[in-house]
A and B are shown apart, each in its own frame.
Chain A
């Protein structure tokens, strides 16, 4: 069953220097599966993710032939309808916990805010649910973390707090925008396996945005490779090593490997005819 379908999505910005097209005709559909979007900075991957939530402010413009989530036309939904979707049915995890959590509010208060405001829950009930959510992302000492300020947590803990926050309303679709880029490799593996377990157990759809092709391949079912606002290749994650497109191959080969040759790493050719 299709949860989300996007046809010919375009995002453009009117700037002093003229029209900038950040996304140029992206189409994809998503069931209850894990879709990876990979590309370099500026390839439009984050803009694609934000468009689904209509989180692009003027002068940015979103256009699409179709953008439908579970029968709801996202292009025509009113601001009020969008607000009802955001967080509750479609959630987004941002890149860096340093900038995405409120620095002057205790973690517990941030977690409970939504439950109290949106769901009209009592204080004790909201607290119990927030603690359960922290436990679900394998925070060992949830009571202490509830009382902590974001700066008192490590990067990995902060990222888990953000994931817990997004998962409290049990969304159908989770958009994770570089959720592990700010983390160490060992912590990264841990956070990914938590995400993986949650997606599988709850049957969520997941859009996983990253610049790390190998990470995405290991973690997702399907991968879209984006360049300059277009999807250059779409393939099943297990076939990644057989990628046809020169850009995908370039992204794969430019990473150093343990025990690999010492010669210069191959760069990316951005001048070929497909790049226009």
Chain B
């Protein structure tokens, strides 16, 4: 049975009397311990799907089920223990005036989990940060180190699902490699399920087993990883995205 099931999901924003249909009738399902990618250009609605799962976007139609159960609105404590999100920009997603220690221990305090001290230490070492970073502030870390903290924070409650919203697009190429390796290692160690958004097809290909190509809020085409590598897409849009991908450029 699929762990995440999204059926006919629509998200509509209302602004100044105008309707913006950010996501229109998208369905997808992600199996347990699978890694599923959403790819498309900005405005294609890929991040909105992640935000809708977390209750951060107004769902206007369709259903979202996790582990077979429709999710509660508003999302409760049980949801936070199961699903966590890592955001694109580690410069914006960490509280600038909280130490790393406070950022990491807050979810534990909210959920009444004891043993915070040991858990924070272990979380830092799990994402490859030295223990001395614990009492630093975000501005004292580099972009890659901050994203590691954001990943550690998402894993504090030991969720089974990680929603990754462009986790490396604000990072340098070399730091991106380190972060992707970290995510893959954590997925293998903990049996995590990933739902990952990126505009970079090469990153999605490296990380995901299946990928959904999106455009203008609609699902265009779902591809298996093998079909992506051999360029067996059926739609023109997916093919143009493939052709524009940076790693094709050297051969082109």
Residues 143-168 (chain B) with a chain A CB within 8 angstroms = 143
In Å, the complex CA distance between A218 and B248 comes to 10
Indicate which residue in B172, B202, B230 contacts A256 across the interface (CB closer than 8 Å): B202
Contact B247 A267 (CB under 8 A): no
Q: Are A267 and B246 in contact (CB under 8 A)?
A: no
B43 CB within 8 Å of chain A:
yes
Q: Given A155-B42, A258-B205, A265-B180, are A189 and B244 also a contact pair (CB < 8 Å)?
A: yes
| A264 in contact (CB, < 8 A) | yes
Kindly state whether residue B178 has any CB partner on chain A within 8 Å.
yes
Q: Are A257 and B177 in contact (CB under 8 A)?
A: no
Question: Which residue on chain B has the smallest CB distance to residue A192?
Answer: B249
Task: Answer whether A255 and B41 are a contact pair too, CB < 8 Å, given A265-B206, A268-B174.
Answer: no
- B249 nearest in chain A by CB position: A218
Interface segment among A75-83, A85-93, A121-129, A179-187: the answer is A179-187
Does residue B199 face the partner (Cβ distance < 8 Å to A)? yes
> Please, what's the 1-or-0 string for A177-213, where 1 marks a CB less than 8 Å from any CB in chain B?
0000000111111000000000000000000000111
Q: Are B43 and A214 in contact (CB under 8 A)?
A: no
Which residues of chain A are near B175, meaning CB under 8 Å? 40
Chain B residues within 8 Å of A154, by CB: 42-43
Instruction: Identify which of B143, B177, B228, B241 gathers the most chain A CB atoms within 10 Å of its CB.
Output: B177
Please determine whether A258 and B242 come into contact, CB atoms closer than 8 angstroms: yes
Known: A260-B205, A264-B184. A186 touches B241 (CB 8 A): yes
**Does the CB pair A218–B177 fall under 8 Å?**
no
A223 within 8 A of B: no
Most interface-central of B203, B206, B247 (chain A CB within 10 A) = B206
Q: Is A103 an interface residue (CB 8 A)?
A: no
Q: Considering residues A188, A217, A265, which has the most beta carbons from chain B within 10 angstroms of its beta carbon? A: A265
Q: Are A266 and B177 in contact (CB under 8 A)?
A: yes
Minimum CB distance partner of B247 in chain A: A257
Main secondary structure of the interface of A (DSSP, over half): loop
Contact residues of B: prevailing secondary structure: helix
Q: A186-B41, A267-B181 are in contact. Are A258 and B172 (CB under 8 A)?
A: no
Interface set, chain B 225-251, CB cutoff 8 A to A: 228-230, 240-242, 244-250
In the complex, how many angstroms separate the beta carbon of A249 from the nearest chain B beta carbon? Answer: 12
CB-contact partner of B202 in A211, A218, A241, A258, under 8 A: A258
Nearest CB on A from B88, distance (A): 12
Report yes or no: B202 in contact with A255, Cβ–Cβ below 8 A: yes
Q: Is B123 an interface position by the 8 A CB rule?
A: no
In the assembly, what is the distance between CA of A31 and CA of B89, in Å? 38
Q: Which residues of chain A come closer than 8 Å to B143, judged between CB atoms?
A: 41
Given contacts A155-B42, A185-B200, A251-B174, contact A214 B250 (CB under 8 A): yes
B173, B207, B245: residue with the most chain A Cβ atoms closer than 10 Å = B173
In Å, the complex CA distance between A241 and B251 comes to 11
Contact A267 B174 (CB under 8 A): yes
Q: Which residues of B contact A256 (CB under 8 A)?
A: 177, 180, 202-203, 205-207, 247
- Closest B residue by C-beta to A219: B249
Query: Taking the nearest CB of chain B, how far is it from the CB of A41, in angstroms?
Result: 5
Determine if B176 is an interface residue (Cβ-Cβ < 8 Å).
yes
A256 to B183, CA, bound (A): 14
Q: Which residues of A contact B228 (CB under 8 A)?
A: 258-259
Chain A residue numbers with a CB within 8 Å of B49 are none
Closest to A189 in B: B244
Determine if B177 and A265 form an interchain contact, defined as CB atoms under 8 angstroms apart: yes
A114 within 8 A of B: no
Contact B240 A255 (CB under 8 A): no
The residue that A254 contacts in the complex, of B41, B176, B201, B252, with Cβ under 8 A, is B176
| Contact residues in A for B245 (Cβ distance below 8 Å) | 185, 258
CB neighbours (8 Å) of B178 from chain A are 265, 267
Q: Is A246 on the interface with B (CB-CB < 8 A)?
A: no
CA distance A264 to B248 in the complex (A): 20
Expressed in whole angstroms, the Cα–Cα distance for A19 and B160 within the complex equals 47
Interface residues of B (CB under 8 A from A): 41-43, 142-143, 172-178, 180-181, 184-185, 199-203, 205-207, 228-230, 240-242, 244-250, 252
Q: Can you show 20 pairs from A to B with CB atoms below 8 A apart? A: A40-B172, A41-B142, A41-B172, A185-B199, A185-B201, A187-B41, A189-B244, A211-B173, A250-B174, A254-B173, A255-B173, A255-B177, A255-B202, A255-B247, A256-B177, A256-B205, A258-B228, A258-B242, A259-B228, A265-B180
Q: Known contacts A154-B42, A258-B247, A260-B206; can you find 5 more A-B pairs with CB under 8 A?
A: A184-B41, A184-B42, A212-B173, A254-B174, A255-B173
- Which 9 residue pairs are nearest across A and B when measured between Cβ atoms? A259-B229, A256-B206, A254-B177, A265-B177, A218-B249, A184-B41, A264-B181, A268-B174, A257-B247
